[in-house]
């Protein structure tokens, strides 16, 4: 991935922001030349329209920079650009901007804790796939023997739904398996083979067995009743992943 270049970003934004002052001066000069006594009566009185445009540029620039830094520095943590926009506004005003502030904020609040935050987010998303079981007292905890059947995990995934949780859960579970079985770094672990299988499928193509080129997972199978099976290479791997998946996670776990 190409490294984010912070040089010149702030300067370019300030050049755009300066258009408001330029337009204001043009409006003032024109009104003076034409004998217009009220600024708002002049045809160049469009400062508020330009201010809205600058605000849109600022918002888009913040989103762009947060997205790029997020992907570069801590790709397995979700960073909300709107939260950082609020922080910028509090510190620099409504139209204020600082690329360095965004970079330092992400470093201090996310990168320094990226291993823990990444693990927590991957685990949370992987848990989207856990079946919901109920008894007379309401929802109950899933047991290891209910989740693991031989070398396969018995999960739930709404493959045809537009709801993103199932797709995010499948990607997360692949990553989680690599963390648990291969001791991969949560900050950098990547995998999307399972979810990619289902992106462009239609109809019954969803509901067949697909083999994976993976050293831990052998194959997957979705069903119309939303059951989803992940076959590991052996039962030991399946039980190890399932055990970690069912743990009540705290930051002390890692």
User: What pLDDT does 247 receive?
Assistant: 86
Tens digits of per-residue pLDDT, 173-201?
A: 999 999 999 999 999 999 888 888 887 77
The share of the chain scoring above pLDDT 70, in percent, equals 95
Q: How confident is the model at residue 117 (pLDDT cuts 50, 70, 90)?
A: very high
pLDDT for residue 254 is more than 60:
no
pLDDT for residue 2 is more than 70:
no
User: What pLDDT does 1 receive?
Assistant: 52
Q: How confident is the model at residue 162 (pLDDT cuts 50, 70, 90)?
A: low
User: What pLDDT does 253 receive?
Assistant: 45
pTM score, two decimals?
0.85
User: What pLDDT does 250 receive?
Assistant: 41
User: What pLDDT does 96 receive?
Assistant: 95
Tens digits of per-residue pLDDT, 67-104?
A: 999 999 999 999 999 999 999 999 999 999 999 999 99
Rounded to an integer, the average pLDDT of 110-136 is 93
Query: Is 192 exposed, middle or buried, given 0-12, 13-18 or 19+ CB atoms closer than 10 A?
Result: middle
What's the half-sphere exposure (Cβ side, CA atoms, 13 Å) at 109?
15
pLDDT for residue 158 is more than 90:
no
Q: Classify each residue of 153-178 as buried b or exposed e, where b means 16 or more C-beta atoms within 10 Å of its C-beta.
A: bbbbbbbbeeeeebbbbbbbbbbbbb
Rounded to an integer, the average pLDDT of 203-213 is 89
**93: phi > 0 → left, psi -120 to 50 → alpha, else beta; which?**
left
Rounded to an integer, the average pLDDT of 151-168 is 85
Q: How confident is the model at residue 248 (pLDDT cuts 50, 70, 90)?
A: low
Angle 9-34/47-73 helices, nearest 10 degrees? 180
Tens digits of per-residue pLDDT, 26-48?
A: 989 999 999 998 878 889 988 88
More confident residue, 143 or 137: 143
User: What pLDDT does 150 receive?
Assistant: 97
Interstrand relation of 133-135 and 148-149 (parallel, antiparallel or unpaired):
unpaired
């Amino acid at each position: 991935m190409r490294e984010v270049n912070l040089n010149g970003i702030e300067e370019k934004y300030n050049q755009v922001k300066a258009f408001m002052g330029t337009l204001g001066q043009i409006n003032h000069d024109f009104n003076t030349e034409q004998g217009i006594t009220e600024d708002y009566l002049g045809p160049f009185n469009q400062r508020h329209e330009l201010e809205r445009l600058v605000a849109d540029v600022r918002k888009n620039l913040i989103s762009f920079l947060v997205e790029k830094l997020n992907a570069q520095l801590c790709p397995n943590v979700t960073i909300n650009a709107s939260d950082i926009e609020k922080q910028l506004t509090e510190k620099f005003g409504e139209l204020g901007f600082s690329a360095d502030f965004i970079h330092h904020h992400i470093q201090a609040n996310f990168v320094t804790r990226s291993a823990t935050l990444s693990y927590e987010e991957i685990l949370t998303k992987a848990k989207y796939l856990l079946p919901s079981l109920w008894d007379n007292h309401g929802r109950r905890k899933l047991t290891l023997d209910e989740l693991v059947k031989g070398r396969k995990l018995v999960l739930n995934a709404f493959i045809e739904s537009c709801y993103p949780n199932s797709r995010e859960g499948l990607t997360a579970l692949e990553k989680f398996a690599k963390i648990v079985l291969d001791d991969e770094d949560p900050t950098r672990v990547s995998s999307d083979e399972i979810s990619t299988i289902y992106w462009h499928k239609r109809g019954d193509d969803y509901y067949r067995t697909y083999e994976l080129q993976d050293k831990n997972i052998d194959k997957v199978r979705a069903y119309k009743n939303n059951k989803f099976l992940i076959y590991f290479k052996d039962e030991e791997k399946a039980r190890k992943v399932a055990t970690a998946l069912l743990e009540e996670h705290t930051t002390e776990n890692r």
